[in-house]
Structure 1
């Protein structure tokens, strides 16, 4: 397991890999982990960790940013869940639309601004489909 040091972008404290039950209690997925700001719960920043590698899935986020990322994921995931394109094609579309490389094209790394841009771009695709129908 690769050791990684993460600093909270909100308060500057370190973030530590901890079981997700620290945040989610009984609702936590078994075996799930999060990087949680050491000042939690005063500082509400955390991010999920990959099951296998325990590396962070993205950047630490507070409640507002987590909500925006969830919203962006719901809108973006419709692109491939609806059958409009495959999941791979949807991520390639995102990369091209925003000039991102493969490492950057993860909603868990997006700012609120980038989430808003992705939501708007996806909605534009859906509107164009409606017009063509």
Structure 2
């Protein structure tokens, strides 16, 4: 899958009234401007190609809504989902099914240990290193942008680096 980074949303500089898609209560120009490496909202599921709807995350968490901005894009077929940047309709990354979510969580734990051990908790430096290690652009080097295989590879690279250092 190819992820295209589009830069800052032009709506952040627009003079026209912003229309928030249902069920979002609003979309903020200031919040849109904060998202420098935006990607388009999904029109189809990244996992199965099924239809996607914008909804509250309570549909994922058995009726309980979590977070200050509890909205997600969710596939109506395979139930994959992706959260949104706060106060926007912009996805945080690409949609993830259960296996992808699990792979991302495991890899991110390894990445956080590496960030502490090698980079003194400097996440920017750690992500720059990871982008180089994976051979990808820094703008798409984030766990929310990783498919399952790429997340597993990121975890492997982090574990190898941790193993080669005294921690």
The corresponding residue for 2:100 is 65
Whose strand fraction is larger, Structure 1's or Structure 2's? 1
Contact 2:42–2:73, Cα closer than 8 Å, also in 1: no
The corresponding residue for 1:12 is 49
Q: How is 1:106-117 mapped onto 2 (pairs within 5 angstroms)? A: 106-117=142-153
The alignment covers a number of residue pairs equal to 127
Distance in 1 between residues matched to 2:66 and 2:133, nearest whole Å? 35
The corresponding residue for 2:66 is 28
Once the two structures are superposed, residues 11-42 of structure 1 have per-residue CA deviations (whole angstroms, 9 ceiling, x without a partner) of 32221221111211325224321111133xxx
**What is the deviation of 1:10?**
3.6
Whose helix fraction is larger, Structure 1's or Structure 2's? 1
Distance in 2 between residues matched to 1:74 and 1:6, nearest whole Å? 30
User: What is the TM-score of this pair, normalised by structure 1?
Assistant: 0.82
Q: Does 1:74 align with 2:109?
A: yes
Q: Cα RMSD over matched residues?
A: 2.1
Deviating above 3 A after TM superposition, structure 1's stretches of 4 or more consecutive aligned residues are: 1-5
Contact 1:5–1:14, Cα closer than 8 Å, also in 2: no
Q: Does 1:90 align with 2:126?
A: yes
Contact 2:53–2:73, Cα closer than 8 Å, also in 1: yes
Distance in 1 between residues matched to 2:91 and 2:147, nearest whole Å? 16
Gaps of 5+ in 1: none
Gaps of 5+ in 2: 1-26, 33-39
